[in-house]
Structure 1
Amino acid sequence: MTPLTDDELIGLIDDVESDRAERKAAWAGSAPEKGRQAVCAFANDLPNHNAPGVLFIGVKDDGTFPDTNFEVTDQLLQTLADIKTDGKITPPPTLTVAKRNLRGRDVAVVTVWPSDAPPVRLEGRVWIRTGPRRDQATAQDERILVEKRRYRDRSFDAHPVSGASLEELSRSYFENEYLPQAVARDVLELNGRSYEERLSSLGMIAGVEDPYPTVAGLMTLGTSPRTWIPSFYVQFLRIDGSEWGDPVIDEQEIDGNFDTMLRRVDDKLRAHTVVSVDFASGTTTEVRKSNYPLSALQQLVRNAIMHRTYDGTNAPVRVYWFNDRIEISNPGGPYGSVTVENFGRPGINDYRNPVIAGVLKVLGFVQRFGFGIAEARRALDANGNPPLEYQVQQANVLAIVRTV
């Protein structure tokens, strides 16, 4: 992702008919809503430029600058960066935010790269560019975007699973549970798209003419996803001791589709979390404290499921609960812009499985992108637990949570 040069940015500012540029004089009024629509449209790249689109803040629609100097503050840059992580756009877009000085004026520049997993949605709606205008995608537009996804170097979660058929997917769960959460109500009411077209648009099958379930489709809608993806389960052990070889008092392989599996994992975590009750000194007020904050454990397990590799391994996510600690093992090391050196650093994130990330957001298991580790650390600190530990290798990530 090479940043655009000043000359390239100025060229986009001057070309007021370009479908690769959106200009806003300020980030106020309707600008945040329309700016997000532009980011979604650039990520979809319907014209197939295979080049980034740019959202300029501090430039008027006609390509001129405001009469008064526009101040590009750190707060504004952070607000623009949050477009990537606030969970409104799924799968999460690839973008960068920078303060640039163009023709002697400061401008906030949001550069958005085309997605490898279109269609990309903003709160359940697919936005595209038609010249300088933003529009919601038609059924034909979405078919074109699906074709783009098929012929790009797709992430593994978007690959079709050879041999699987539509009968492996639960149509009732898709139409009654998943679809109403994934697509805006008014869009559902207006379109007359077929079952296959809807599956294809959401990345659940490879395409209408190629109706094989994808990896993400089987994980989300499959009646027996582990049959096709052997590593898609969580291995839970409760060990009565602090060493390997100590007695195992609870063992379970937790599988099913995402919704079933993650709810069963939550139930297992709750069952083994010990809550002590005390009374504030001199009062009858109960003070409840757990050995581990449930929210931290949920974030870490979901993070492992989202970011692990499912390709070329039969290893599950492992949750091993000792008396003094919990170890959560993720088969899959750092990916993309995340390295062994910068792992866990705020603001550094990438997505091995962008379709899965979008699914977990739709189902409500993820509220924001890139905040799982930070939220786990915050919850552990508030509960009085020692700091979260990570052991990061190229092929595995191990999170260690120690008891209060």
Structure 2
Amino acid sequence: MTPLTDKELLQLVHDVESDRAERKESWKGSAPEKAREAVCAFANDLPNHAKPGVLFVGVKDDGRPAGPDFVVTDQLLQTLADIKTDGKLTPPPTMTVARRTLQGQDVAVITVWPADAPPVRLDGRIWIRTGPRRGQATAQDERVLNEKRRYRDRSFDAHPIHGCSLEELSRPYFENEYLPQAVARDVLEANGRSYEERLASLGMISTVDDATPTVAGLLTLGKSPRTWIPSAYIQFLRIRGTEWGDPVVDEQEVDGNLDTMLRRLDEKLKATLAVAVDFTSGTTTEVRTAPYPLSALQQLARNAVMHRTYEGTNAPVRIYWFDDRIEISNPGGPYGAVTQENFGRPGISDYRSPVLAGVLKTLGFVQRFGFGIAEARRALQANGNPPPEFQVEATNVLATLRRAA
């Protein structure tokens, strides 16, 4: 991801017919909505340029600077960066945001790289560019985007599982449960898209011509995902004590497709989360305090499922509940822009499994990308717990939550 030079940016600014550039004079009115559509279209790269598209904020339609009244503030840059993580675009695009000086004036520049496994959707709709025009993809456009995928470029969750047949996916669940959440109603009602085309468009099978389920397809729609992906489960242990070797009083292997697995996990967490009842002295008021906030447990457990690796390991996500702490172990170390040094820092996020990240957002288990740890920290603080502790290694992340005093 080499940033474009000033010369390259100036060429795009002035080429008003280019399908690799879009300009916004300000960030008012419909600009935020149109900007997201542009980012989606650049990520889909229907013309197959294999080059980044650029959205300029602070530039008029004819390429001239917006004028001295337009100022690129830090708040504007943060707002533009949130386009990647606010959960509207799935899977999250690869993009950067920067302040650049062009034609003697500062402008905000959003650079968007083509997605490895298109199509990218904005609120369930696929946006593309044809010349200077932006519009929604037709059924034929979707077919072209599906065919653009190259095996060597795919993230592991987009790889096909050889030997697995289409019958391993639950068609009723896909059509009745998942599809209505993943695709906008008006697009869903449009004719011309077969079952296989819809599966391929959402990354559930390799291509229309090769209807082999992908890793994401098995995890999302599989009748028995663990048969094909042995690590696709969560191991839960309730340990009576504070040391390894103390008695295990509850054990469960939580599996199923992603929706079923995470809902079962929620039930297990709620059942285990003993609530202490204290009747305050001199009053009949009942005060309930929990040793851990449920939302923090959910955020960190879902984070582990989303960011773990399914490649080269049979290890599950592990949740070990001791009397004084909870340990959540994720078999997948830092990835991409996330390192051992910057792990957990606000604004730093990356996705080894972008298709699965989109699935979790579609199913409602993730509200915004990149905010799980921050939300867990806030919930723990509000409940009186110490902040979470993270032990980050090359192939594993261990999150430890301490019981509230």
Per the TM superposition, whether the score is higher than 0.5 is yes
Match for residue 73 of structure 1? 73
SS at match of 1:190: coil
- The CA deviation at 1:258 is 0.5
Amino acid at match of 1:315: A
Match for residue 27 of structure 2? 27
Unpaired runs of 5+ in structure 2?
Answer: none
Note if contact 2:151-2:159 (Cα within 8 Å) is conserved in structure 1: no
Note if contact 1:116-1:152 (Cα within 8 Å) is conserved in structure 2: no
1:336-377 deviation line (CA, Å, top 9, x unaligned): 111111111111110000000000000000000000111111
- The CA deviation at 1:320 is 0.4
Match for residue 360 of structure 1? 360
Match for residue 238 of structure 1? 238
What is the rounded CA distance, in whole Å, between the counterparts of 2:299 and 2:67 in structure 1? 47
1:251-299 deviation line (CA, Å, top 9, x unaligned): 0111000010000000111111121233567654433210000000001
Match for residue 275 of structure 1? 275
SS at match of 2:329: strand
Match for residue 375 of structure 2? 375
Note if contact 1:69-1:105 (Cα within 8 Å) is conserved in structure 2: no
What is the rounded CA distance, in whole Å, between the counterparts of 1:280 and 1:12 in structure 2? 68
Note if contact 2:53-2:113 (Cα within 8 Å) is conserved in structure 1: yes
1:128-169 deviation line (CA, Å, top 9, x unaligned): 110111111111111111111244510000000111111101
Aligned positions of 1:251-266 closer than 5 A? 251-266=251-266
Instruction: Determine if the alignment matches structure 1 residue 194 to structure 2 residue 190.
Output: no
Match for residue 3 of structure 1? 3
Match for residue 396 of structure 1? 396
Match for residue 338 of structure 1? 338
Amino acid at match of 2:108: A
Note if contact 2:204-2:218 (Cα within 8 Å) is conserved in structure 1: yes
Aligned positions of 1:295-314 closer than 5 A? 295-314=295-314
Q: 1:272 to 1:8 in 2, by over 3 A?
A: same
Q: Tell which deviates more after alignment, 135-144 or 117-126.
A: 135-144
**TM-score, length of structure 2 as denominator length:** 0.98
What is the rounded CA distance, in whole Å, between the counterparts of 1:127 and 1:387 in structure 2? 41
Amino acid at match of 1:86: D
Instruction: Determine if the alignment matches structure 1 residue 172 to structure 2 residue 166.
Output: no
Note if contact 2:65-2:103 (Cα within 8 Å) is conserved in structure 1: no
Match for residue 118 of structure 1? 118
Amino acid at match of 1:369: F
- The CA deviation at 1:106 is 1.1
Provide the aligned length of Structure 1 versus Structure 2. Answer: 404
- The CA deviation at 1:99 is 1.1
Match for residue 348 of structure 1? 348
SS at match of 2:357: helix
SS at match of 1:265: helix
Q: Tell which deviates more after alignment, 64-73 or 109-118.
A: 64-73
1:192-220 deviation line (CA, Å, top 9, x unaligned): 21101100100000011100000000000
Amino acid at match of 1:123: D
SS at match of 1:145: helix
Amino acid at match of 1:117: A
Match for residue 207 of structure 1? 207
What is the rounded CA distance, in whole Å, between the counterparts of 1:326 and 1:297 in structure 2? 9
Q: Tell which deviates more after alignment, 225-234 or 93-102.
A: 93-102
Amino acid at match of 1:124: G
Amino acid at match of 1:249: V
Q: 1:79 to 1:283 in 2, by over 3 A?
A: farther
1:68-118 deviation line (CA, Å, top 9, x unaligned): 431111111111111000000000111111111111111011111111121
What is the rounded CA distance, in whole Å, between the counterparts of 2:280 and 2:84 in structure 1? 43
Q: Tell which deviates more after alignment, 81-90 or 184-193.
A: 184-193
Q: 1:282 to 1:223 in 2, by over 3 A?
A: same
Match for residue 85 of structure 2? 85
What is the rounded CA distance, in whole Å, between the counterparts of 2:284 and 2:53 in structure 1? 61
- RMSD, aligned α-carbons: 1.1
What is the rounded CA distance, in whole Å, between the counterparts of 1:51 and 1:152 in structure 2? 18
Instruction: Determine if the alignment matches structure 1 residue 54 to structure 2 residue 64.
Output: no
Q: 1:26 to 1:152 in 2, by over 3 A?
A: farther
Between the aligned residues of both structures, percent identity stands at 79
What is the rounded CA distance, in whole Å, between the counterparts of 1:6 and 1:150 in structure 2? 31
**TM-score, length of structure 1 as denominator length:** 0.98
- The CA deviation at 1:20 is 0.7
Amino acid at match of 2:214: T
Note if contact 1:84-1:92 (Cα within 8 Å) is conserved in structure 2: yes
SS at match of 2:149: helix
Amino acid at match of 1:25: E
SS at match of 1:12: helix
Note if contact 2:116-2:150 (Cα within 8 Å) is conserved in structure 1: no
What is the rounded CA distance, in whole Å, between the counterparts of 1:302 and 1:87 in structure 2? 15
SS at match of 2:146: helix
Match for residue 149 of structure 2? 149
Q: 1:283 to 1:17 in 2, by over 3 A?
A: farther
Note if contact 2:220-2:359 (Cα within 8 Å) is conserved in structure 1: yes
